[in-house]
Amino acid sequence: MSSFGERSWAAAVRERAVRALPPEQLLPDRQPAYVASWIYVFGVLSLSSLAVLIASGCILALKGPAWWHFTSVGHFFNSVHLWSVELFFFFMVVHLWGKYWMAAWRGGRARVWMTGAIIFLVAIPCALTGYVSQQNFDSQWISTQAKDAMNASGIGAFFNLLNFGQMYSYHVLLLPAAVVALVIAHVLLVRRHGVVPPLERSELLARPGADEQLDRHDGESGA
Amino acid sequence: MGRCALPYTVAAMFTAAVFDLNQHATYLHWHFIDLSLSNVLVIVAMVVVFALAILAPFPGGRQRGESQ
């Protein structure tokens, strides 16, 4: 137990967190001029569809399979959940293409790129466990077909697609928690390092004295 | 279901006319590549949206660009 006047572990954690994530960078009120392009919109579109996905999934989890299969409101939320995951992957793929072609790992953003790529990889089994948790013929077909791929890869003993309880646990808790945690880390890293500039701009930044010039231009343009 | 039956049926008939799911899915084959038509359409849509995202002007983007 620390006495008064000693530096507590909580203060050390707080100072470290503030150093890693300066508050003035977490919610910026201005963005660089180069983000005025549709290609920069797909990250937030992915986030929006993820929010709808989680909200509709919570409602489905509250009511259960009988509700989502046999009532019109249940059908509606089942469809919202399906189409939000379709849009989540659609937007995420376009976001991934955009960031790949602008080499978004530049300027010390390797962790931003890696967390994004891992989110994509974790989201795939998250969706697969959802397809096999539907409790209908579709889920039976998918699970019996996909189990062979799992067995061939050697993880069938730990990840059994025919085990509804296990798949449902993965789908509503473990994998969504991983996706959400990674998304939070990804967004915080984007805030920390800033939105990646287009390639031409980074070439300009490589010139001596270009930082001051570009900062002045950003200020003039209101970015 | 009772009160919602009519609009639900009309909506189902309309969508069934556009997307007939009561048949085997159409698959496209090219060497070892084997894709359903619906997946190909989604991939094409993603490519089109990606191209539009790069080429389409962003509202307010031009003024910002000119001021630089």
Give the count of domains, chain B.
Answer: 1
Q: Is residue B35 part of a domain?
A: yes
Residues 6+ apart with CB under 8 A from B62: none
Q: Is residue B48 part of a domain?
A: yes
pLDDT band at B4 (very low <50, low <70, confident <90, very high): low
What is the ipTM, given to two decimal places? 0.79
A37 and B64 in contact by Cβ < 8 A? no
Per-residue pLDDT of chain A (223 residues; tens, 9 = 90+): 555 667 799 999 999 989 888 888 788 888 888 889 999 999 999 999 999 999 999 999 999 999 999 999 999 999 999 999 999 999 999 999 999 999 999 989 999 999 999 999 999 999 999 999 999 999 999 999 999 999 999 988 899 999 999 999 999 999 999 999 999 999 999 998 889 988 876 566 666 666 565 555 555 444 4
Q: For residue B27, give its domain range.
A: 23-56
Given 3-state DSSP classes, what are the helix, strand and coil percentages for chain A, each rounded to the nearest 5?
A: 75, 0, 25
Q: Which of A30, A37, A40, A138 to mutate against chain B (most B CBs within 10 Å)? A: A37
From the CA of A3, how many Å to the nearest CA of chain B? 56
DSSP state of A8: P
Nearest-angstrom CA–CA distance, A22 and A25? 6
Q: A102-206 is classed in which CATH architecture? A: Up-down Bundle (1.20)
How is chain A split into domains, by residue range? Answer: 37-88, 102-206
Report the pLDDT value the prediction gives residue A213, as an integer from 0 to 100.
Answer: 56
Q: Is residue B9 part of a domain?
A: no
From the CA of A184, how many Å to the nearest CA of chain B? 25
A37 vs B contacts (CB less than 8 Å) = 53-54, 58, 61
Helix B37-55, helix A72-101: angle, nearest 10: 50
Report the pLDDT value the prediction gives residue A42, as an integer from 0 to 100.
Answer: 96
Residue whose tokens read 């001596």: A208
Per DSSP, the three-state class of B4 is: coil
Q: Is residue B29 part of a domain?
A: yes
Report the pLDDT value the prediction gives residue A198, as an integer from 0 to 100.
Answer: 85
Q: Is residue B43 part of a domain?
A: yes
Q: Is residue B42 part of a domain?
A: yes
Query: Is the minimum CB–CB distance between A42 and chain B shorter than 8 Å?
Result: yes
Query: Is the minimum CB–CB distance between A222 and chain B shorter than 8 Å?
Result: yes
Mean pLDDT along residues B22-39:
87
Q: What angle do CA A110, A112, A113 make, to 5 degrees?
A: 65
